[in-house]
Chain A
Amino acid sequence: MLEVKGLRKVYQSGSREVEALRDLTFTVENGDLVCLVGPSGCGKTTLLRCLAGLLAPTAGDVRVDGKAVDGPPEGMAVVFQEYGRSLFPWMNVRDNVELPLKQKKVPKRRRQELIEQSLDAVGLTGSAAAYPWQLSGGMQQRVAIARAVAYEPRTLLMDEPFAAVDAQTRADLEDLVRELWKRLGVTILFVTHDIDESVYLGQRVVMLSSSPTVVQDELLIDLPADRDQLTTRADPRFIALRTRVYEQIQAAKKNAER
């Protein structure tokens, strides 16, 4: 379970203070898939880095399974937006997936299993020897997902992972995330600026305001668990929900302008 309570982050640069996050409180239950969506520049990345234990918040706290986060928590994996910078170009796909496992002291045979299973799961069977830069953008992000899956996390953070891939690849990767989530029973927090994506993927959508950020609204996505790109996106319920989210985001932007 991921609990965020009263989270605030102020950046100090010289005598100037920039308040990125004002007051954020929300919870992600074990096994949930929650999407965070907000207008661009709403401090999503700051929030994610606080959750991942990469950045110390100014106030408030983040708890993973009841334990306060003061560094990267055990059992958490992160998929970054910039797959091109997050995968290590000096290692081939296998070594990229394997390095975190070695650090976790997973025995060799188990590592081989995990690498194979995770690459199969993301549809990259047989690409273990390739280097990341030999692959397309969508395939690189699949490698990053495979690395996260092989790590066997209880919590998976995804920071706008599909912002830089083309629309068709994106749809495939969205389905991949849903499928992995259902199969692995992992808790996923998915950050995005894409409203449709948040509704399509999430069980719940948390809407953020513009910076300085607060939680604008929360919405339960009561769509059936089996979703697919064609029928779900044409479902009147889907359209009603995306309209709700869209209105809230627009309201958030307007509030910011005032």
Chain B
Amino acid sequence: MNVLKKVVLALALPAVLFGAWWVLSAGSESYYSPPLSKILAAFRTTWTPTQLEAEVLPSLLRLFAGFALAALIGVGAGVAIGLNRRLRAVMEPVLEFFRAIPPPVLVPVIMLFAGIGDTMKVIVIVFGCIWPILLNTVEGVRAVDSVVLDTARSYGVNGTARITRVVLPSASPQIAAGLRQALSIAIILMVISEMFAASNGLGFTIVQFQRSFAIPEMWSGIILLGLLGFVLSLLFRLAERRALRWYEGLRAAQRSS
């Protein structure tokens, strides 16, 4: 019952918006904003299984490669910087500088070095979405409770176990927040890098439709992109809730006491 209510509430506004779009665009004569009915018809014919495999799968693979790499480097470097005060003093200004650069401007630069292949796109994604992961990890590691650290030390929990069993779990809620931000940045950069130079992928296809004046198909690509982002963030949310069940429980216990 409760779940049903939640689902209904979550779907109500999208349904209303789609309904409004449908009604308002129904009699549209404009070439650039065709009726939604036409867009949906185009969706069905455009995004066939073969087309999904040819255009969406490469995009997703780049996205996952970039995101996973950024997570690995970001968490690794974040733990090192968070644990070492001197390293932090050296790194912090540089990190702030790099973080302030809007990642899309790096696409032309990275193209010069890495060409226009998949490597370029993965590098762009890594470079853009590593910052929230890195900075959140640093903060999370720095915020590990002093009593927790004292306890670990006095029971001889040091070396690798200190990192994997104490520091990382303790910082994990904040690391997850960084990963969540990084995921949406990664999707944006996936599309942008494909718009610059590519021979396949979602971003490439959408630009291709626009250039060949296949307007309903272009719109359908945008809807697909939106759906993709939604599903990915939903999957992330589910994984996060599973991994951080202890944190939810802890917070609920603290609230009620």
Contacts and interface: CB of A to CB of B under 8 A. Distances in A.
B150 A54 contact: yes
Interface string B150-178: 11011111100100011001101000000
B3 interface: no
B161 A86 contact: no
A89 interface: yes
Interface of A: 49, 52-54, 72, 74, 76-78, 80, 82, 85-86, 88-91, 99-100, 102-104, 131, 133-134, 147, 151
Contacts of A134: 249, 253
A74 B154 CA distance: 9
Contacts of B165: 88, 91, 99
Given A90-B170, A99-B161, A53 B148 contact: no
A191 B140 CA distance: 32
A54 B153 contact: yes
B246 interface: yes
A133 B153 contact: no
A102 B153 CA distance: 14
B245 to A, nearest CB: 9
Nearest to A52: B154
Contacts of B157: 99-100, 103
A103 B151 CA distance: 13
Q: Which 9 A-B pairs give the minimum distances between C-beta atoms?
A: A100-B155, A85-B147, A133-B253, A90-B169, A78-B154, A133-B250, A72-B154, A89-B250, A86-B151
17 contacts: A54-B150, A76-B154, A77-B155, A78-B155, A80-B151, A85-B148, A86-B150, A90-B246, A91-B165, A99-B155, A100-B155, A103-B155, A131-B249, A133-B246, A133-B253, A134-B249, A134-B253
B169 A104 contact: no
B170 to A, nearest CB: 7
Contacts of B156: 72, 74, 100, 103-104
B161 A103 contact: yes
Contacts of B166: 88
A86 B153 contact: no
Interface in B110-153: 145, 147-148, 150-151, 153
B169 A133 contact: no
B154 A88 contact: no
B172 A72 contact: no
Contacts of B172: 90
B151 A102 contact: no
Nearest to B158: A103
B150 A80 contact: yes
A102 B161 contact: yes
A14 to B, nearest CB: 17
A6 B230 CA distance: 65
B155 A85 contact: no
A106 to B, nearest CB: 11
Contacts of A85: 145, 147-148
A163 to B, nearest CB: 14
Contacts of B170: 88, 90
Nearest to B246: A90
Contacts of B253: 133-134
B161 A77 contact: no
B96 to A, nearest CB: 27
A88 B150 contact: no
Nearest to B146: A85
Nearest to B162: A103
B151 A151 contact: no
Nearest to A71: B153
